[in-house]
Structure 1
Amino acid sequence: MIQEKLDTGYLVETPEAIELSARLAGPVPRVLAYAMDFAIRTIVLLVIGLAFAFLGNTGLAVILLISFFIEWLYPVVFEVLRNGQTPGKKALGLAVVNDDLTPVTWSTSLVRNLLRAADFLPVGYAFGLVCMISNSRFQRLGDLAAGSLVIYRQAADKRAADLPDVPSQTPPLILDLEDQVAFTGFAQRHKQLSESRKEELATILQPLTQKSGGAAVRYVQGVGAWLLGRRQ
């Protein structure tokens, strides 16, 4: 029981029977990342406030409008368009993902960030902090509602670096477990195989992929990367 509480590893099995893993981020790095993002937002708002302060009521309306978008859309835009990372999270090596470890979506990010209003209660994100330390995945209320997690990006990047630098490819048809293992193994062993051997193995699947030579190698590697969780 104690080991389970101390272990920040997270495993999920995809529909393709492939296990993906990540390391969950606890309250301390998440609080530090939020503090950095809060400081950035504050500085931006101060600059905007000085720029529009001389426009009277019109300037005040512009400031209030911009402040609303910065407060609520700043994290959403960064999380969706910057691999789950706001500047603060990037500085701490963190990222937001869906709880199946796929990239965070617009709807997921909107829900988790809009519910920051509830996490803030009664003051200073006290409810969100209590919620985080009360569950093994360190999820605040917004994460629980949206189905999201905050993980350490470096571990995911390290695993991705071990895969070939090719675009991921959706499998051409439903693969059984043996075929999935063959595709993923081909992708993971790309540094151990010679180019001629890669082409020889990949061309065997030409009736399925309609590709041969280097194109077949890249395609099969791309399917393997997709099965291993790279969906971008």
Structure 2
Amino acid sequence: MLDTAYNVETPEGIDLRAQAAGPVPRILAYAVDVFYRSLILAALGIALAFADRAGVGIWLLCSFLLEWFYPVFFEVVRGGQTPGKKAFGLMVVNDNLTPISWSASLLRNLLRFADFLPFGYAAGTIAMTLNRDFRRLGDLAAGTLVVYRQQNSSERSLPQAAPLAPPRGLLMQDQLAIISLAERHRDLSEARQRELAELLQPVTGKSGRDGLHYLHAVGNWLLGGK
């Protein structure tokens, strides 16, 4: 089964997740950006039609800047999204899922000429097809990838565990720690959660997977589950 999930674990044990974008939405997003750039160049051509050779020179300069620096500007200044990527809910990030930098954006976009070879972005399309995370040559060189932009949600899902009343005499600080673990279970790797569960073993009397499941159940109870 094709899995487009991209996971990164931070040094703090927090799991960052994203969905890598495949060739089709990226090609469509690129087509939208080409359309916008073409409109801008057409408007400039009309405006500079009476400027003779100076107008041609200005138009060529603008054409060069739009071709190579239009995506760089939007990717860095507008949260990794050109207008085309924004239309399809995509964004460019570093491979550790941090915001893309100027240097990485410049490199990935300047290397589009390599992705274009031998014609029609054939090399880039083949690279995306063969790469698990759908990275073209520019992405591989710059350490970037294109993912789907996730919408922030105010609701946080709780662990899949039947609510269970906590043991008697559970201290308030321990209750707060268990509640925090339950609320952040999607952000923390399972290994990190088990490590935290081991700290409460003297209270729960359980360890490993059983201890973690028990804490999830108690956390659900403390958060109002019945």
TM-score between the two structures when normalised by the length of structure 2: 0.68
Alpha-carbon distance, 1:94 to partner = 0.3
Give the superposition deviation at 1:158. 3.0
Q: Secondary structure in 1 aligned to 2:50? A: helix
Q: Which residue in 1 is equivalent to 2:152?
A: 158
Matches within 5 A, 1:70-81: 70-81=66-77
- 1:28 and 2:55 matched: no
Q: Give, as a single letter, the amino acid of the residue that structure 2 aligns with 1:16.
A: E
Mapping for residues 209-228 of structure 1, pairs under 5 Å: none
Q: Percent identity?
A: 59
Distance in 2 between residues matched to 1:162 and 1:137, nearest whole Å: 28
Please say which structure displays the higher CA radius of gyration: 2
In the alignment, the residues of structure 1 paired with residue 141 and residue 117 of structure 2 have an alpha-carbon distance, to the nearest angstrom, of 16
Match of 1:82 among 71, 74, 78: 78
Please, which of 18, 24, 32 is the counterpart of residue 14 of structure 2? 18
Alpha-carbon distance between aligned partners in 2 of 1:30 and 1:68, rounded to the nearest angstrom: 22
- Counterparts of 2:63 and 2:180, CA distance in 1: 49
Q: 1:47 aligns with which of 43, 50, 58?
A: 43
Q: For residues 88-110 of structure 1, give each alpha carbon's deviation from its aligned partner in whole angstroms, at most 9, with x where no partner exists.
A: 00000000000000011101100
Q: How much does 1:15 deviate?
A: 2.1
Partner secondary structure for residue 40 of structure 1: helix
- Cross-structure match for 1:98: 94
Using the TM superposition, give the Cα deviation of residue 185 of structure 1 relative to its aligned residue in structure 2, in angstroms.
Answer: 3.5
Once the two structures are superposed, the pairs formed by residues 54-203 of structure 1 within 5 Å of their partners are 54-153=50-149, 155=150, 157-158=151-152, 161=154, 185=180
Q: Deviations over 1:113-134 (max 9, x none)?
A: 0000110111110110000001
List per-residue Cα deviations over 1:23-82 (Å, max 9, x = no partner). 110000000000000000011001001111211111111111111111111000000011
Runs of 4+ in 1 over 6 A off after TM superposition: none
Alignment coverage as a number of residue pairs:
163
More helix by share: 1
Can you list the C-alpha shifts for 1:164-211, whole angstroms capped at 9, x where unaligned?
xxxxxxxxxxxxxxxxxx6x948x57xxxxxxxxxxxxxxxxxxxxxx
1:162 CA drift (Å): 5.2
* One-letter identity of the residue aligned with 2:23: P
2:191 corresponds in structure 1 to none
Give 5+ residue unaligned stretches, structure 2: 157-176, 185-226
TM-score by length of 1: 0.67
> What SS does the corresponding residue of 1:73 show, helix, strand or coil?
helix
